[in-house]
Chains A and B, each alone.
Chain A
């Protein structure tokens, strides 16, 4: 991704101003269990998650807060559920915008409208629109709150990582600051340094994949009058802005407009305010009053690293995988990387799990990255057909969609980011065939209303044994772990029955700290659960 027009040192929020620290003078490099490079959404989430679990973290960023410029906007339910576990979701939902009505246009025709009608019985909406700097600010607020509660986390702004050298049992890190360079050592280094990942370059690692290059003009406009909170998507818009255009709402009366401009464009000309206004006028119609708030041109690519773990250096977020914009998957998948990684790293640092547990991070998140890249690629191929016959069928789908619901299911203007189900993961234990597919081993736990509130909020920070109308001891200790029981009943709770019991009369679920399901049975069996627990921490 290239971002023209952003002054990289200007910030929306100055969250972690530079301060000189004793480390910088120390003759011998200070050793840290975990150093996280990059305080974007993913680095913030990794640092917050680890430190809330008691793991000391040093978080480094070359800036002092989120940079100016439009980036992520749509944050999906799973992301909000993870942020809720981290103590940051309520502020996000309060500030964010929800929409339910979408309109799809082809050329100048409204093809159809749809209402999202998300499934009820979840604490969080299907997604919210929230500007990325706010998302980062709320994670940072949660870090400050965790620090006040004693969480061992340090953030250092204007600390740029210049060199990373693997050294057997640790990684040596060279950092530059306004007061000159210094060194630290890390048992583990988590590279969350974005799509251009300097750490990836320092280690000479590749970033392979299918290149999808197109230019997107992103305009954030401030509407002066009322304008509906709807998502409008155009295929081949009549206002001649390439293959697609998208309009949707952000907080603070700002609307995000994406124009897909195509390949051969004159960037400087496209960025002239008069030219941007001409496009926006054509899209919104002549009578809509607005101000341009921010505009930029981006190009995107779809690719990932071959491996996410390189011994003691682990890549997460955009540094590991980069996605096209359709479907809003970049930050959403990066937050899931953090969710997947942190509990594993904690158990490895504590010596409870072998370090091969981290290989499952790589396996599971590569599975997710490939799924995301597949979805992104399919959306891209639908929106920008690659051959005449592909365009013929795409337009046939659009023509039929005006009348026929089946064709609307084929219209792909970006699929909502949903979490990956880790079918086939080495960490998965036994399944039970009478129970619903959506909660099979490898799945993220679907939320549901329960007596005490929302199900996901009842799950503790470690492994949980969730029993539904089944007997079990209150706690279980095995393999150095203590598993807490959550006892529920499906009597009078249709959502819980439908999401977890299916045709079974009772159920016992072993749930991982990242709230993915490890295994499930009809009733409690201590040795079976012990074996599944061993498997879930790679001790089998």
Chain B
């Protein structure tokens, strides 16, 4: 089951760290980094149903 309840102890800080991690990267480099990040997190999660749910949720955000 995908956990969509608030789960980050300090959301503001977590968000700031994500943005800071991209500091100084070109747009292309940032996209590449995001892709690596997705793969790393996917592997950490491992569970297929959780991933499917996450993919579905994210895709809905794209409005289609």
- A residues bordering B, Cβ < 8 Å? 392-393, 395-397, 399-400, 404, 406-407, 410
Chain A residues closer than 8 Å to B43, beta-carbon distance:
406-407
Does B40 belong to the interface (CB within 8 Å)?
A: yes
B32 touches A395 (CB 8 A): yes
Contact A400 B40 (CB under 8 A): yes
Q: In the complex, A393 Cα to B32 Cα: how many Å?
A: 8
A399: chain B residues within 8 A (beta carbon): 32, 36
Which are the 4 A-B pairs with shortest beta-carbon distances? A396-B35, A406-B43, A396-B36, A392-B35
Residues of B23-47 whose CB lies within 8 A of A:
31-32, 35-36, 38-40, 43
A400–B35 CA distance with the chains assembled, in angstroms: 10
A393 CB contacts on chain B under 8 angstroms: 35, 38-39
Q: Which chain B residues border A396 with CB–CB below 8 Å?
A: 32, 35-36, 38-39
When distances are taken between beta carbons in the complex, the residues of chain B under 8 Å from A400 are: 36, 39-40
Interface contact B31-A392, CB-CB below 8 Å: yes
Q: Which residue from B31, B32, B39 sits with its C-beta under 8 Å from A410? A: B39
CB distance from A52 to the nearest CB of B (A): 45
Task: Give 13 new A-B contacts, CB below 8 A, not counting A396-B38, A400-B39.
Answer: A392-B31, A392-B32, A392-B35, A393-B38, A395-B32, A395-B35, A396-B36, A396-B39, A399-B32, A400-B40, A404-B40, A406-B43, A410-B39
Instruction: For the complex formed, measure the closest distance between the CB of B23 and the CB atoms of chain A, giving whole angstroms.
Output: 19
| Chain A residues near B38 (CB-CB < 8 A) | 393, 396
CB distance from B42 to the nearest CB of A (A): 9
- Residues of chain A with a CB closer than 8 A to B39's CB: 393, 396-397, 400, 407, 410
Q: How far is the CA of A301 from the CA of B38 in the complex (A)?
A: 32
Q: Which residue of B lies closest to A392 (CB)?
A: B35
> Which secondary structure dominates chain B's binding surface?
helix
- In angstroms, how far is the closest chain B Cβ from the Cβ of A508? 34
* Residues of A close to B35: CB separation below 8 A: 392-393, 395-396
> Chain B residues with Cβ under 8 A from A407's Cβ?
39, 43
A392–B28 Cα distance when bound, in Å, is 9
**A410 / chain B contacts, CB cutoff of 8 Å:** 39
Residue from the set A393, A396, A406 with the largest chain B CB neighbour count within 10 Å: A396
Question: Given the complex of chains A and B, what is the CA–CA distance between A264 and B2 in angstroms?
Answer: 46
CB distance from B41 to the nearest CB of A (A): 11
Question: Within the complex, what minimum Cβ distance (angstroms) separates B54 from chain A?
Answer: 15
Report B61 CB to chain A, min CB distance, Å. Answer: 16
**With the chains together, A407 CA to B36 CA distance in Å?**
10
Given the complex of chains A and B, what is the CA–CA distance between A393 and B31 in angstroms? 9
B residues near A406, Cβ cutoff 8 Å: 43
> CA–CA, A395 to B32, complex, Å?
8
Q: Nearest chain-B residue to A395 (Cβ)?
A: B32
Q: How far is the CB of A510 from chain B (nearest CB, A)?
A: 33
**Nearest CB on A from B21, distance (A):** 15
> 17 A-B Cβ contacts within 8 A?
A392-B32, A392-B35, A393-B38, A393-B39, A395-B35, A396-B32, A396-B35, A396-B36, A396-B38, A399-B32, A399-B36, A400-B36, A404-B40, A406-B43, A407-B39, A407-B43, A410-B39
- The CA of A396 and the CA of B37, in the complex, are separated in Å by 9
A407 nearest CB neighbor, chain B only: B39
Of chain A, the residue at the smallest CB distance from B46 is: A406
* Distance of A389 from chain B, by nearest CB (Å): 8
Residue numbers in A under 8 Å from B32 (CB-CB):
392, 395-396, 399
Question: Nearest CB to that of A397 among chain B residues?
Answer: B39
Q: Which residues of B contact A397 (CB under 8 A)?
A: 39
CA distance A291 to B40 in the complex (A): 45
CB distance from B47 to the nearest CB of A (A): 14
CB A457 to nearest CB in B, in angstroms, measures 39
The residue in chain A whose Cβ has the minimal distance to the Cβ of B31 is A392
Q: What is the minimal beta-carbon distance from A106 to any residue of chain B, in angstroms?
A: 13
Residue of A nearest to B44 (CB): A406
Min distance, Cβ B10 to any Cβ of chain A, angstroms: 28
B19 to chain A, nearest CB (A): 20
For the complex, give the distance between the alpha carbons of A81 and B32 in Å: 45
Which residues of B have CB within 8 Å of A404? 40
A407–B38 Cα distance when bound, in Å, is 12
Residues of chain B lying within 8 A (CB to CB) of residue A392: 31-32, 35
Docked pose: A407 CA to B31 CA in angstroms: 18
A410 to B31, alpha carbons, bound, how many Å? 19
**Complex alpha-carbon distance, A407 and B39, angstroms:** 8
| Complexed CA–CA distance, A52 and B31 (Å) | 60
Residues of A within 8 A of B40 (CB): 400, 404
B5 to chain A, nearest CB (A): 27
CB proximity of A523 to chain B, nearest CB, Å? 36
Bound-state CA distance A80–B39 (Å) is 37
Alpha-carbon distance A396/B35, docked complex (angstroms): 6
Interface residues in B11-25 by Cβ distance below 8 A to A read none
Q: Give Cα A406–Cα B41 distance, bound, in whole angstroms.
A: 11
Among residues of B, the one whose C-beta sits closest to the C-beta of A410 is: B39
Q: Which residues of B contact A395 (CB under 8 A)?
A: 32, 35
Q: What A residues does B31 contact at CB under 8 A?
A: 392
How distant is the Cα of A404 from the Cα of B39 in the complex, in angstroms?
A: 11
Of chain B, the residue at the smallest CB distance from A406 is B43
Q: Which residues of A contact B36 (CB under 8 A)?
A: 396, 399-400
Give bound CA distance, A399 to B35, whole Å: 10
- Expressed in whole angstroms, the minimum distance between the Cβ of A406 and any Cβ of chain B is 4
Q: Complex formed: what's the CA distance from A522 to B42 in Å?
A: 40
Interchain nearest-CB distance for B43 vs A (Å): 4
Inter-chain CA distance A397–B35, complex, in Å, is 8
Considering only CB atoms, which chain A residue lies closest to B36 in the complex? A396
